[in-house]
Structures are given as C-alpha cells and as structure tokens.
Amino acid sequence: MSIFALVDCNNFYASCERVFNPALEGKPIVILSNNDGCIIARSNEAKALGIPMGCPYYSFKQIFQKQNVEVFSSNYELYGDMSQRVMDSLAEFCPDIEVYSIDEAFLKLDGFKDRDLDAFAIEIRQKIKQWTGIPVSIGIGATKTLAKMANHIAKRHTQSGVFNLLDTNISEKILSEFEVEKIWGIASGGEKKLKQLGIITAKQLRDANPKIIRKHLTVVGERIVYELRGISCLPLEIFVAPKKNIMSSRSFGRIVTKYEDLEEAIANYASRACEKMRKEKSRAQAVQVSVTTNPFKTHTKQYRNGTMSRFIAPTNDTMHIISQAVKCLKQIYHSDYEYKKVSVMLMDLVSDEGGQQDLFDEVNYDKSDKIMGVLDNINLKMGRNKLFIGTQGIERNWKMQRNKQSSRFTTQWHELLEVR
DNA sequence: TCTGGGGTCCTAGGACCC
DNA sequence: TCTGGGGTCCTAGGACCC
C-alpha cells in the first residue's frame, strides 16, 4: 500500500498578505481577481461573514466597508514567490513531491512507514510555518483522493491541522459521513448523476459497481471508486510535464470597440504567452485568437468567436506569432460589438531542442533565437516590457485595473518591507 | 458603473482509409 | 425493397481542477 500526503496552504493568498503585514492577523481579508472583479480568496474571518467565493466585488463593497474587511488586488508575483518557498521547504522533508498547484503539493510517504506519520506531519507543518510564515494543513491517505479527503477534514475539524485516514476504523466513519460532492473530481454535474443513482456519501460511491459508475461518469469516475477503496490510480507525478498549450487572456479595464485597441491587446498577450513559452523551452505549432463581449451585459449584442492559424514550422518568435495572431483577429473582428476580453492561446507545443525541423529547412532558428534571447534578457534585467514589439502599442488604455495591490515584498528591491 | 485566468483529460462524432 | 466492417486520426465541447 502507498501512503500519500496532501499539503495545502490555508487561505493561501490571504496568508501571504499577512506574512508581511501582521496587523492583518485576525481580520477578515479578501483578495480580488484581475480587474478587481471577483472575490477569489478569503481568510477564515471573511468566510465567517458569509462572503462567497467567486462573487462579484461590487455587490459586496458596502458590506466590506461596514465590516472593515481588508481588500487586496491579487499580487501573483508575491504569491508565486511565497509558493516557491513553501515547496522548497517541503522538499527538505520528502524528496517525492508533486507540486500540484500554487498552494498544494502531494508527498509520497512510502519510505516513512516506520515513523509516526501524524507526528511527522505535525513537524512538517510547524517548520513550514516557522520558515515561511504560511500555515498549512496536511491530510494523509492511501491514495491521492483519500489524502485530499483527509486534508478537507484536517482543515475544518482539527486543532492540529493534520488528519490521517489510514486507520480503517476511522475511515469507515469518515467516508460514511463525507458528502459525495466534496470528493476531489466530483462537481455539480457528477453529483447530480450520482444522486439519481441514490449515491450520497463517499462510502456509497466506494462500494458502488465501478462499471456502472463508469457508464455515468466516464473512466474518471471509475477511477475515483478505486481510489476510495485505497487502490491508487493517480500516481505521484514528480516530473513536471511540459505544457501542451499556453494561454494569455485578460478582461479589459473598460469597454473596447476599436480595432486598434484590440490589436494592441492581442499583441501584448501574444508577447506575454511567447515569453512563457520560451521559458518552458518550447515552440508552438499554432496560435488561436478568441474575442468575446461581456456575457453579463445581456442587453448588449453578444458575440464570441475564435480562429486559429497553423504555422509551417514550430516557432517561438514573438514577431512572427504576433503577425499571425493579428491576421486571426482581422478575420473575426466586427466593429459593432463592445468587447470585454480577448485571448491568445499557443497550441501544440513541442520542445525547442532538436525535434522536427521544417521539411525544407526554410526556417533558420538561429537568428530568431538570438533576437528572442536578447529581448528576454533585457526584459528580465530591466523589467517586463521594457523592450517590446511596436504592435503592442504605448497607450494601452484597455489595460486592466488593479488598484489595491500590496507590495511585491520578496521580488522587487524597491518594494521591500520597511521597518522603522 | 462593476462579474478572473489558466490549465488538463475524456468522449462522441466526423473524415478518411483499406 | 435491399448498400460492410473495421480501424485511425482529428476536433469540438464538456467537465473538472485550482
């Protein structure tokens, strides 16, 4: 039998804000999405006030003022760096680590069977807090799905922040009380189908016929059944799989109708996506551009469309990709809509080393790679977008709003925390 | 006034082949 | 009247995750 642990940072974004601003301790905090649109993270105190996840900020503004809720725009530079610190710290304890998301990691504890796992988890938790300032919860189980479940319990129903589902006596009781929709991988669609089959608890799902579950929830659901039985179907993925697609998309800070503004935005998103792609050491084989109006403004004319351009050979050249993206935009742009969002997706990524060269060797990567290297180096040293392609424009008045951002304490010298 | 961004995996169905 | 069988590849769309 395997042993998995899921380590999950508590209210991660809110906790990051607190590390550098201890006065926030005990206060309700919310963090907003890009454009200060939605609530995407809440401290426990904010949750206790009944502020739902994903709700629009404007509809709660007054409540926030009345209840003295601290509001922050999202600060991904800070959160990303704090995440790195947490993950590096975890790796000190266990070499078999899968970084699952910005605030979660799976550990495989098979090599620690002889230890008191609860005590070990409590030690990890205490050290992470000491080294990074971030509180975490740890769930332990025989599969990833069970470790997730254990973490859910750890976060809500324990003082220690640690919960272990390996003990069968405990797990029987927990599974019989655990609602099926809280299981990792079961969302509202699956919940509905399971309820029609009379399955309400995790225990019922575990004991259901896997073939019948597969019929209704595909192989994904069947795997969950086995995972609940302690049979691991989802292995630890230590090596980060190279990305297959890279997307850059952003809602606008205001309504945009002019073609020129959209073109600027597309060029900027394409440029950003290309940077990410080169960092991954990949090249794309196609680019897809999509545009959409604001779906919440139901009284205005709605429009959404996208189109794709395939390249002759894989490329990560910003200039080439911008020009292709702009061609796509021209195909789908109509002047009579109010646009809210555009996106650029680089698709079918392949490694930039070796790999397939163009059949007729028309593509000479050397020159392009040199130019892109210079571009990336300058922007790395001098700051994002110091050097950019003309199409990206200068005014960028479509840009998103982010008015309540905290300092990037850990990644920018001029934003270091000052102690007076 | 005002509603995020970025991914993955799976399946069904069409196109095409022999 | 009546029209095979089996396979692969690709794509769009759905579902789900954080």
Tokens, residue A311: 């390249």
Report the pLDDT value the prediction gives residue A201, as an integer from 0 to 100: 98
**Does residue A104 approach strand C to less than 7 Å at its CB?**
yes
Question: CA–C1' distance A218–B11 (Å)?
Answer: 8
Q: How far is the CA of A34 from the C1' of C9 (A)?
A: 39
Q: Using 50, 70 and 90 to split pLDDT, how confident is the model at A361?
A: low
A271 CB below 7 A from strand B atoms: no
* A210-228 helix and A188-196 helix, angle to the nearest 10 degrees: 120
CA of A219 to C1' of C8 (A): 21
Nucleotide nearest to A184 (CA to C1'): C17
Distances from the Cα of A311 to the Cα of A78, A288, A314, A320, angstroms = 36, 11, 6, 10
pLDDT digits (tens, 9 = 90+) for A35-58: 899 999 999 999 999 999 999 999
Q: How confident is the model at residue A354 (pLDDT cuts 50, 70, 90)?
A: low
Q: Is A190 (CB) below 7 Å from strand C?
A: yes
Q: Where are the alpha helices (DSSP H) in A144-201?
A: 144-157, 168-177, 188-196
A62 touches strand C (CB under 7 A): no
Q: Is the pTM of this model over 0.85?
A: yes
Mean local confidence (pLDDT), A72-77: 95
Provide residues 122-161 of A with CB closer than 7 Å to any strand C atom.
148
**Strand B nucleotides where any atom sits below 7 Å of a protein CB:** 1-11
Stretch (H or E) spanning A264 = helix A259-279
**Residue A34 approaches strand B within 7 Å at CB:** yes
A186 beta carbon to strand C: under 7 Å: yes
